[in-house]
Chains A and B, each alone.
Chain A
């Protein structure tokens, strides 16, 4: 069943892709083929291959239970939040928080997780910024 749903999404995606390809604005100085043809070809391959596994699906994978799915969604949310606040909060603080959250959710006890997060952040800062001179996001405190 998973494959059928996925194939359905694939076909919709292919249709959307082909539609978007047809509305690409042509330049008056185009080559013979133009910018639309190749994307349309790709869209067709995309759609046909999706159709193939709608018609002949593989056995469905084992999806994790709802609680675990929520867990994954939260980890993704944490990463998204990290990406957004990184420039404002600065590398060291943001990374310590994100790493602490991830290691906590992967099974480190909460107090220890904070320590692991701080060490991860500090270690990366030391190696990549202090030793290797990579520029990392600067926060309000300059690190």
Chain B
């Protein structure tokens, strides 16, 4: 029962007035960011990292703030799915299938409340999963040497595109680009400058925060500018009738088995590399449809069709924290951004984090529990307020996003050079998005590049330059095999899966027309 004792200590850390306040603030901001179309969890956390950093918060409070934003954004994503039929973020896509029809039937409030409860169940169970699974994974991770870590990093890159990846060549290109950017600056082991072209500003390398905020937040502003005049979301929000905002007890009981099943499924999808929250919600929805949809009500406003993907994607969000905390290798885009948070705070995640900084880990986990209850309490009665946020037009919102991004980055370094680099990343992000190149591998490359290289060099120094040392242990061979399969599998199965997801969406839309 060590784990429960540690968790108890974590609650002691988290239960200070400041930390509770930060968790509340984070949940609130996160829900708003998740709800706004275009500002998903990655964006939300990315904009707030430099701010939390420049405010000089100590590691644990900063982490509590930002993970609350993360969980909040996962909750918030459903609001615009249900009200506007526009997913606030990618995992919330499946929620539109039954959520929007419910809203059209005048049951928007019920759908929002139910999905709030489902999000809570998913996230709550997943946090328990995190409590018990992460320490087990740490025991495995302690067996890792430099060669295994090198293989593990490769695995992370190979599977990051995920099973739903559109083009593996582009995912690989993005990863290499990120790793290449990480190489800029003085080499940590020999002290020689690399790729800095004599520019003093580049000797320290490119700050990953600059890259993240540019790639995510500024490119979003450019995307909005490109599609100006096509967005009518704000007007649509006014027309929807919210209706009653408390789910009836009978409805909750009706959906309970669904929520429990999909939470487990979502959690597993979150832990596995390359699956992530989008897949978690997709599998959850498909499985429930197959299991309980006897009268063909899924896709026409079945409450279980709202509960399933929401429980699934929030459970996956919790599951994705397991490899991130225990191994230091994130399994999804948003956890990659959370890794950036840890690195910005000078905390290296991985097995040593659990032994050296148990207060950080368990304080964080305790904060997740607290955040969950806060989100539930906030989301049921206050959902009307969050829906009003959707009415802020992007033409006012996007400049604020841009300016807050500039404030955060300028606060870190106080140099115009970093701002210019950030604008550069913003343009790059826009072009790469147009070309369907995923941005997350770039971020991960910038974050992990130096650690990956130094593990490789350490492994080869130990073996005195013998390259076979990289595949010498069964553990590393296993990791290489998983990496290989994870990279090749999407090329074979990815197309089928994506077609199915598109088909599900298409059928749904046709159904509406017929009705």
Give complex CA distance A72, B430 in Å: 10
Output the least CB separation between A41 and chain B (Å).
9
- Is the CB–CB distance between A105 and B225 below 8 Å? yes
Closest to B178 in A: A42
Could you pull out 15 A-B pairs where Cβ atoms are within 8 angstroms? Answer: A17-B195, A27-B191, A39-B194, A45-B172, A49-B176, A52-B172, A53-B169, A58-B435, A75-B222, A79-B426, A102-B398, A102-B399, A105-B225, A116-B396, A124-B403
Nearest neighbor of B406 in chain A, beta-carbon distance: A82
Identify which of B173, B179, B187, B189 contacts A53 (C-beta below 8 A): B173
Assess whether A110 is interfacial by the CB under 8 Å rule: no
Shortest CB-to-CB span from B143 to chain A, Å, is 24
**List of B residues within 8 angstroms of A48 by Cβ:** 172
User: Is A114 part of the contact surface with B, judged by Cβ < 8 Å?
Assistant: no
B374 at the interface (CB under 8 A from A): no
Cα–Cα distance between A60 and B493 once the two chains are bound (Å)? 23
Q: Return the contact of B411 from the options A25, A30, A121, A136 (Cβ within 8 A).
A: A136
- Given A87-B416, A120-B400, check contact A103 B456 (CB 8 Å): no
Known: A35-B187, A68-B225, A72-B225. 5 other contacts (CB 8 A): A24-B187, A46-B180, A99-B400, A134-B55, A134-B407
A30-B190, A124-B407 known; A83+B423 contact, CB < 8 A: yes
**Of all chain A residues, which has the CB nearest B434?**
A61
A61 and B173 in contact, given A31-B190, A76-B426, A136-B407 (Cβ under 8 angstroms): no
Provided the pairs A25-B192, A52-B169 are in contact, do residues A86 and B461 lie with their beta carbons within 8 angstroms?
A: no
Assembled-state Cα–Cα distance A31/B146 (Å): 15
Identify the interface centre among B169, B222, B422, B457: most chain A CB within 10 Å of its CB: B169
Report B-chain residues with C-beta under 8 Å of the C-beta of A17: 180, 195
A49 and B226 contacting across the interface, CB-CB below 8 Å: no
Count the A residues whose beta carbon is within 8 Å of the partner chain — how many? Answer: 70
Residues of A within 8 A of B461 (CB): 31-33
Taking the complex as formed, is A128 at the interface, i.e. its CB lies under 8 A from any CB of chain B? yes
Proximity string of chain B (368-405) to chain A, C-beta cutoff 8 Å, 1 when within and 0 when not: 00000000000000000000000001111011101110
* Contact in complex: A39, B183 (CB < 8 Å): yes
Q: Write out the residue numbers on chain B whose beta carbons fall within 8 Å of the beta carbon of A143.
A: none
The verdict on A12 contacting chain B, using a C-beta distance below 8 Å, is no
Q: How far is the CA of A105 from the CA of B55 in the complex (A)?
A: 32
Bound Cα distance A21, B169 (Å): 23
User: In the complex the two chains form, is A83's CB within 8 Å of B406's CB?
Assistant: yes
User: A120 vs B403: C-alpha distance in the bound complex, in angstroms?
Assistant: 8
B354 within 8 A of partner (CB)? no
Q: Which of B218, B416, B426, B461 has the most CB of A within 10 A?
A: B416
Residue of A nearest to B463 (CB): A32
* In the complex, chain B residues whose CB is within 8 Å of the CB of A25: 192-193
Complex: A134 Cα to B420 Cα, angstroms: 21
Does A106 contact B399, Cβ atoms closer than 8 Å?
Answer: yes
A33 in complex: contacting residue of B191, B404, B414, B456, CB < 8 Å = B456
Q: Does chain A have a CB within 8 A of B170? A: yes
Contact with B along A1-29 (1 / 0, CB 8 A): 01100100010001001001100111101
**Complex formed: what's the CA distance from A95 to B410 in Å?**
12
B18 to chain A, nearest CB (A): 14
Contact B194 A50 (CB under 8 A): no
A136 to B461, CA, bound (A): 46
CB of B176 within 8 A of CB of A33, answer: no
Closest A-chain residue to B218, C-beta based? Answer: A79
> Is B176 a contact of A42 with CB atoms below 8 Å?
yes
For window 208-250 of chain B, which residues contact chain A by CB distance below 8 Å? 218, 221-222, 224-226, 228-229
Whole-angstrom distance from the CB of A26 to the nearest CB of chain B?
7
Q: A80-B423, A107-B228 are in contact. Are A99 and B399 (CB under 8 A)?
A: yes
How many whole Å from A100's CB to the nearest CB in chain B?
Answer: 8
Which residues of the partner chain A approach B177 to less than 8 Å between Cβ atoms?
A: 46
CB of B6 closer than 8 Å to a CB of A = no
